[in-house]
Amino acid sequence: MTQKTQKKQAVQDYLDAVGRGDAETMASLVADDFLHEFLGSTVFAVGKRTFPENRELLRTFRASLVADGKFTIEDIAEEEDLVLAIFTGECELVSGKRYDGIYAASFRFREDKIISMRELMDTKLADAVMA
């Protein structure tokens, strides 16, 4: 990974918190008007979600895991208020299935807070394993 800046570290911290189901840490990293959007054709792509809506999705996601999920950033780039990341996820589900995906996401910042995340995932895998 490239040199860590404050914004890149915030992205890593956010992904780590998602894996743990740690909504409090996530809340500390995002702005009050934060919006999350899944891109593509998947059951999760229902438009933009506010942080409270995203928190509910996080609870459901974490409850489906045997242990904390692990997200590893493979590539990350930053330009002004935008951080782009390609990352992998490793998750063992209580159903016995694996949800090991690859993601691309953009994170927009206002000062030191994330104001939006637009996320593209392996939609076929998400629907097959999580739906």
CATH number of residue 82's parent domain? 3.10.450.50
Q: Is 1 contained in some domain?
A: no
Residues ≥6 apart with Cβ < 8 Å to 37: 45, 47, 48, 49, 116, 117, 118, 119
Note the pLDDT of residue 131.
Answer: 60
Q: Is 56 contained in some domain?
A: yes
Note the pLDDT of residue 88.
Answer: 96
Q: Is 15 contained in some domain?
A: yes
Q: Is 65 contained in some domain?
A: yes
Note the pLDDT of residue 1.
Answer: 43
Closest alpha carbon to 117 in 53, 43, 21:
53
- State pTM to two decimals: 0.87
Q: Is 82 contained in some domain?
A: yes
Note the pLDDT of residue 4.
Answer: 77
Q: Which domain holds residue 45?
A: 6-130
Q: Is 53 contained in some domain?
A: yes
Cα–Cα dist 48/24, whole Å: 20
Cα–Cα dist 86/89, whole Å: 10
Note the pLDDT of residue 27.
Answer: 96
- In which residue ranges of the chain is pLDDT below 70? 1-3, 41-45, 122-131
Q: How many domains does the chain have?
A: 1
